[in-house]
Structure 1
Amino acid sequence: MEYLIEDLVEAWVVFKPEVLAGPVLSRVKVPLADFLGMSEAHRITFLVSEVQRDFKLDLKSGATKFEKLLGAVGLDGPVDQHVRDALYEMQNIRNVWAHRGGVADRRLVEACPSLAFSEGEKVNIGTSEYGRYGHALVAYVGIVFNHCQKVCGLDPVAYDLPGFYGVVGGAASPAPM
């Protein structure tokens, strides 16, 4: 997800170069000689990396991490709380598996009390949780896509995902039970 959002922001700068004059990107500090020596693609990648560093996004989790970067180019917007919660849980579970061998640590237990893991417990998720997290990812991509649509003056694309009815483009399916 991180690379998807970074790539989108970089592509958006190429598509809408006027965002470079915005309050975030215009404040990025860079040695001019170095900057002028870079290719256009590398300049944009550098700018996006500097924004991430300035916002300390490596310390953030979930949609909050992505919304700050998207906001730098005018693509932030409302994100359904159910999607936010699922992304946050998923990222915390991923971190436990990547850095703690799949064993719950204090950070996971405190960050996601609704998951009801105990410190030292093996973190496993079932197929329903796995599906929920996958649908949350797709829903978030749809939400961001619709932010792009809105900026371009286009109508949102509405579709539903199990457990996330109505969160992408205002689809009008029944609320989940």
Structure 2
Amino acid sequence: DDVVVQKDLTPLFSLDLHGNVNGAVETCLEAFHRYYKYLNFSNPLISSKFDPQACGWAFGMNIFDLIAWRKENVTGKYHYWQEQNANRSLWNLGTLPAGLLAFYGLTEPLDRRWHVLGLGYDLNIDNRLIETAAAIHFNGNMKPWLKLSIAKYRPLWEQYVNQAHKYLEDCLTS
């Protein structure tokens, strides 16, 4: 996958989610991760219920309170939004927008050190941030197993891959 866990995640289980369903690192630092970039706010179904400036959050590493999940019927909300978007009038493609809608108002922001993302597109991530991160995420087009990956980040993924594995022998990885 495109997420590498570098540290013990056990402390996540003792975090207080303050009644929220999801604990995740917000992605507000970059404007393209705001709700208005994912959703069609000219549609009243979206504009009447959601803030276009709301922060998106990283999907690569999350902690969930499953009791709160059931109480809030997150699965039902997710399916509702998928059904509402059958004609693609609410968003174009992908499952990320439906997740943003289903967990709207139900996500507790986590410290960024839990999940550093951007290793599949951002050449300028601080090495200290990567080193201290519990999980690193190669989100973006430049996946570490592709030749077009960002070379300085590739070893962070490669160290965990058994290149001699029979399923990888025929793959065209870097």
Whichever structure has more strand as a proportion of its residues is 2
Identify whether the pair has TM-score above 0.5, normalized to the shorter chain.
no
User: Smaller-chain TM-score range?
Assistant: under 0.3
Larger relative contact order, structure 1 or 2 (CA cutoff 8 Å, min sep 6): 2
TM-score by length of 2: 0.24
Whichever structure has more helix as a proportion of its residues is 1
